[in-house]
Amino acid sequence: MSFIEKLPGQRVVVTGGAGFVGSNIVRRLLKEGATVIVLDDFYTGDESNLPKDNAKLEVIKGSVTDFDLTRDVVKGAAVVFHEAARNIIVSTRNPREDYEVNIGGTLNVLLAVRECRVPRMVYASSASVYGNPRYLPINEDDSTNMLSPYAVSKFAGENYCKAFYESYGLSTAMVRYSNVYGPAQRPDNPYCGVIAKFFETAMAGQAPRIHGDGEQTRDFTYIDDVVDATLLAGFSPKAEGQVYNVGTGRETSVNQLARMIIQITGTAVEPEYVDRRDIDNIRRRVVNIEKIRRELRWSPSVIIEKGLQYTYQWLQETLS
Ligand SMILES: NC(=O)c1ccc[n+]([C@@H]2O[C@H](COP(=O)([O-])OP(=O)(O)OC[C@H]3O[C@@H](n4cnc5c(N)ncnc54)[C@H](O)[C@@H]3O)[C@@H](O)[C@H]2O)c1
């Protein structure tokens, strides 16, 4: 990958670096020789996600809602990866908290990046900004449709990134992740995604619980691919001011997912069907990844069958 030779000796900041995606980015940056500073309030993040006693890693406990702290942290950074956010469950339960962290916190990061003249900031956005799309697969310039406070706040963050690029020439890049899964997505985190939850129940010999009829679909993306895409967005000159879908282009229903997990774990159960939740209002989602393929030369390398096996291996080692 083209960014790798740029990493040794660089100071890189990861907000939300103790979380699922953030900690995978941190480990990769360290492996490639960067010095990494994590800013995380440990709301959903976990110290155990991060390597211990690594002289090139500094972990600062604090919130992106604290502007002075955020400015001190980003000073001297070559890139800031802004991963910190309240997730969709917290956000649906408490939209004000979501507003303060996901919108207010993102504005703080941008203001800090501008003041400290950081050469690039990457913003972790979400495919949830598309709502229920009219056409599949979804292109980056298709219409957006906010169906949850979380989608509103993630899209607001994107718009601020775009506005800071247009108004102040700040070099921002935005990646719209689609249902990320894999190692470090901890099932004991009540806000973890469906894959970690299904594995947890299947590994305990219980039936995965499907909300609704299970025919809702998503584009499940393996974490290592997401890390690669995010780092490319951080170091590629072409990514400046751009927004990219990060997915696989393959649609998988929740029913298919449950069947695959039951098969991998060898559990003799049938899924259990329960009522849909207020956060389950997106019927189908699969994204078009031609733009990132063409401009950043990224494409996913882990198909879902393989990614689920890697995830299962990690869970077996972690939960044992
Ligand atoms: N996981 C996915 O499927 C997915 C999909 C689309 C978008 N995203 C986005 O990717 C990013 C990372 O998500 P994740 O799945 O790793 O979630 P996560 O909850 O595991 O990680 C978020 C991290 O941010 C930290 N955090 C929360 N509020 C903070 C604050 N005020 N200040 C500092 N740190 C704070 C949390 O403690 C946690 O470590 C988020 O911005 C999320 O919106 C994730």
Ligand 1 pocket: which of 21, 70, 97 to mutate (most atoms <8 Å of CB)? 21
Output the pLDDT for position 80: 98
- Considering only CA atoms, which of 161, 158, 163, 160 is closest in space to residue 146? 158
Output the pLDDT for position 92: 92
Output the pLDDT for position 277: 82
Question: Ligand 1 mean position to 40 CA, how many Å?
Answer: 10
Domain 9-178+222-247: homologous superfamily in CATH: NAD(P)-binding Rossmann-like Domain (3.40.50.720)
- Considering only CA atoms, which of 316, 311, 89 is closest in space to residue 220? 311
Question: Ligand 1 mean position to 19 CA, how many Å?
Answer: 6
Q: What is the rounded end-to-end Cα distance, in angstroms, of the chain?
A: 35
Please tell me which residue in 123, 130, 150, 165 is annotated as part of the active site.
Answer: 150
C-alpha pair distances (Å), 161 with each of 25, 126, 147, 154, 166: 20, 14, 21, 11, 9
Output the pLDDT for position 233: 98
Is residue 131 within 8 A of residue 144, CB to CB? The reply is yes
Model confidence over 302-312: pLDDT tens digits?
A: 999 999 999 99
**Rounded distance, CA 319 to CA 26, Å?**
22
pTM for this prediction: 0.97
Output the pLDDT for position 98: 97
262: its two tokens: 């039951």
Output the pLDDT for position 140: 98
Output the pLDDT for position 125: 98
Catalytic annotation on 150? Answer: yes
Give the residues surrounding ligand 1 with Cβ less than 6 Å away: 15-16, 18-22, 39-45, 63-65, 83-87, 101, 105, 124, 126, 154, 177, 179-180, 193
Residue ranges in the chain modelled with pLDDT below 50: none
Residue closest by Cα to atom 30 of ligand 1: 63
